Amino acid sequence: MLIGMIRPSETRELTAEGASLEEIVGALLAQTPEGWQLTHKKVTMPKGTTKMVAVGRAARWGDVQEIEAADLTALRAAVPDGWQLLNVRNA
């Protein structure tokens, strides 16, 4: 019997506009759901404008759970969509 540790791996793309980096980061954090982390942000300034545009990514991490299966193939098949297998150990 194998035991696998899994965690959510779902991500969401976020967008924001603003006049300063602080304003943009605040807008991205405001869009980040509770229990999620803002993992990436890329800020650009379109030509001919004074505003900044940002694209960010929020990821849902945490909520680690264990699953069990008889072999590695069955264990991988038991990982739900939107989840990631972190490690495997013998029971």
The per-residue pLDDT string of the chain (91 residues; one tens digit each, 9 = 90 and over) reads 999 999 998 899 999 999 999 999 999 999 999 989 999 999 999 999 889 999 999 998 778 999 999 999 999 999 999 899 999 999 8
Q: Residue 54: its pLDDT value, please?
A: 96
Contact 82, 10 (CB under 8 A): yes
**What pLDDT, on a 0 to 100 scale, did the predictor assign at position 58?**
96
Euclidean distance between CA atoms 67 and 50, whole angstroms: 51
Cβ atoms of 80 and 10 within 8 Å: the answer is no
